[in-house]
Amino acid sequence: LIATSVMAQQDVTETDKAKEKRMQWFKDAKLGIFIHYGIYAVNGIDESWSFFNGYINYDDYIKQLDGFTAAKYDAGEWAKIIKASGAKYAVLTTKHHDGVALWDTKTEHFNTVDDTPAKRDIVEPFVKALRKEKLKVGLYYSLIDWSYPDYPAHLRNENRYQNDDERWNKFTDFYFAQMNELSGRFNPDLYWFDGDWEHSAEEWKSKELRELMLKYNKNIILNSRLQGYGDYDTPEQGVPIKKPNNPYWELCMTMNDSWGYQHNDHNYKSPYQLIRIFVDCISMGGNLLLDIGPHADGSIPQEQLDILKEFGRWTSKHEEAIYGTLAGIDTKHFNGPTALSKDGKTLYLYIDNQPNHPVLVNGLDAGVEKVRVVGQEKELSYTYNNKLLSVNMDNAQADPMVTVVAVELKHSIKL
Ligand code: FHN
């Protein structure tokens, strides 16, 4: 009997094995960088929501088109910074809910080539630069388009409509045309859809969209915001309290309180807080998609660069305990986050406060070969009796963020 996973409401069946293969790079990647770049950075205000919520009127919001220069936008530089952080993929907002496309769309709608002083396609160099650095390419696309005249939640209220199939079909034709452009021109590895809450799967034509995306790229990965037709879950702004049921998931999170660049938001989480959150994702088998919001000119704010740099230091030191790992053991065995190597023969313990007492793992019946600190030569001494491992930390050099202890086991742990 071949196991099959049938996605909710989806006709396309795919064996679990085939899905595993398609999802493998994503599952192993652990860290991605989210980039919210758009005209909202000109005034440094909320992307799209600032006019939706009435903090600024629509006309003033859209005037930001005139200030979008992308004068310092250097995709090669972005890709290098992303690579150095330890991320394996990045996801760029090709179009947020405001409807402004960052590529040279031939559809009739706002875009950075025809409607801004930048006069540039932002997506094309981004895709090229990522590929040059061997990073996977993710494109964010908002289903919602609060500027498109045939989209029913148009902000100029007089244009709102209900139950008008003709206009709705005009809109879905337009958005399918944009998706054809993105896939045809850039053939990304992953799509990150957003804004599905305003309509049903049927209205969005999610099934047809999925089929279309698969025609361009049979290995395409789609996030779950497609009303049941996606591959992986996308919790937002908080580590799930328990391991999600879907083995494929990714937490997306801002460094401060904003997705896009906001001039008055300096409320950054510390590198320690963010790395600790990253570790929680790893320990539950998920990824972290850490967000940055470049200035309108394309430069990345210093606070964000500093955080990415610290990620780079920590990820390069702890590579073996990050990439390709599996979710760890239950916290009743070890009081903190853990992960397992793919063969189940190394257990990684993430220790975020160097204790002045031994580190304990209880109920461990896999036998112990050796215990060491990741990124440090020396082995650690330990005792192992009656399934209780007790590691002496005296010789462990603490990492300023999170120290990782590797326990090499005699037998593999299979969870
Ligand atoms: O409304 C958006 C928001 O601006 C941002 O893009 C986030 C990123 O996950 N997604 C939406 C809310 O879920």
Tell me what the pLDDT averaged over the chain comes to.
94
Question: What strands lie across the sheet with 250-254, from one edge to the other?
Answer: 221-222, 190-194, 136-142, 89-95, 31-35, 287-292, 250-254
Cα 344 to averaged position of ligand 1 atoms, centre (Å): 36
Least confident of 154-168, 315-329, 350-364: 154-168
Q: Please say if the pLDDT value at position 2 is more than 60.
A: no
Q: Classify each residue of 85-95 as buried b or exposed e, where b means 16 or more C-beta atoms within 10 Å of its C-beta.
A: bbbbbbbbbbb
> Distances in Å between the alpha carbon of 190 and those of 11, 219, 222, 285, 314?
21, 9, 6, 19, 26
Q: Which tens digit of pLDDT belongs to each residue from 21-78?
A: 999 999 999 999 999 999 999 999 999 999 988 899 999 999 999 999 999 999 999 9
CB atoms within 10 A of CB 35: 22
Give the closest residue (by CA) to ligand 1 atom 3: 259
Cα 56 to averaged position of ligand 1 atoms, centre (Å): 18
**Would you give the end-to-end CA distance of the chain in angstroms?**
22
Tokens, residue 172: 């879905």
Query: What percentage of the chain exceeds 90 in pLDDT?
Result: 89
Domain segments of the chain: what residues?
A: 4-317, 326-409
Q: Which tens digit of pLDDT belongs to each residue from 73-124?
A: 999 999 999 999 999 999 999 999 999 999 999 999 999 999 999 999 999 9
Q: Label residue 408 left, alpha or beta by phi (over 0 means left) and psi (-120 to 50 means alpha).
A: beta
CA–CA gap between residue 287 and residue 25 (Å, rounded)? 11
CA–CA gap between residue 237 and residue 220 (Å, rounded)? 25
Q: Please say if the pLDDT value at position 335 is more than 70.
A: yes
Cα 383 to averaged position of ligand 1 atoms, centre (Å): 49
CA dihedral for 304, 305, 306, 309, sign (positive or negative)? positive
Least confident of 178-187, 258-267, 353-362: 353-362
Domain 326-409 CATH class label: mainly beta
Least confident of 122-136, 152-166, 333-347, 401-415: 152-166
Mean pLDDT of 141-166: 82
Q: Please say if the pLDDT value at position 171 is more than 90.
A: yes
CA–CA gap between residue 354 and residue 331 (Å, rounded)? 18
Mean pLDDT of 284-289: 98
Query: What percentage of the chain exceeds 70 in pLDDT?
Result: 95
Q: Please say if the pLDDT value at position 276 is more than 90.
A: yes
pLDDT of residue 151: 92
CA–CA gap between residue 83 and residue 275 (Å, rounded)? 17
CB atoms within 10 A of CB 100: 27
pLDDT of residue 159: 59
Pocket test for ligand 1, best of 97, 194, 291 (most atoms within 8 A of CB): 194
Closest-CA residue to 32 (of 137, 170, 129, 186): 137
pLDDT of residue 154: 59
Q: Classify each residue of 279-295 as buried b or exposed e, where b means 16 or more C-beta atoms within 10 Å of its C-beta.
A: bbbbbbbbbbbbbbbbb
> Which residues are registered as beta bridge partners of 339?
327, 348
Asked if CATH classification 3.40.50.300 holds for the domain at 4-317, the reply, yes or no, is: no
Q: Please say if the pLDDT value at position 7 is more than 90.
A: no
CA–CA gap between residue 107 and residue 116 (Å, rounded)? 16
Cα 198 to averaged position of ligand 1 atoms, centre (Å): 13
Cβ < 6 Å from ligand 1: which residues?
A: 47, 194, 236, 252, 259
Q: Are 348 and 120 in contact (CB under 8 A)?
A: no
Q: Please say if the pLDDT value at position 379 is more than 70.
A: yes
Band the pLDDT of 8: cuts 50, 70, 90: very low
Tell me what percent of the chain is helix, strand and coil, each rounded to the nearest 5.
30, 20, 50
Q: Please say if the pLDDT value at position 375 is more than 90.
A: yes
Give the closest residue (by CA) to ligand 1 atom 7: 259
Mean pLDDT of 313-330: 98
Same topology between domain 4-317 and domain 326-409: no
DSSP state of 318: T
Q: Classify each residue of 319-343 as buried b or exposed e, where b means 16 or more C-beta atoms within 10 Å of its C-beta.
A: eebbeebbbbbeeebbebbbbbbee
Q: Are 350 and 336 in contact (CB under 8 A)?
A: yes
Q: Which tens digit of pLDDT belongs to each residue from 216-261?
A: 999 999 999 998 899 999 999 999 999 999 999 999 999 999 999 9
Pocket test for ligand 1, best of 33, 35, 259 (most atoms within 8 A of CB): 259
Cβ burial of 378 (10 Å; 0-12, 13-18, 19+) is exposed
Indicate the pTM of the whole model.
0.96
Band the pLDDT of 157: cuts 50, 70, 90: low
CB atoms within 10 A of CB 370: 12
Return the ligand 1 atom nearest residue 48 CA: 4
Q: Which tens digit of pLDDT belongs to each residue from 182-223?
A: 999 999 999 999 999 999 999 999 999 999 999 999 999 999
Band the pLDDT of 3: cuts 50, 70, 90: very low
Q: Which helix (H) or strand (E) holds 88?
A: none
Mean pLDDT of 366-382: 95
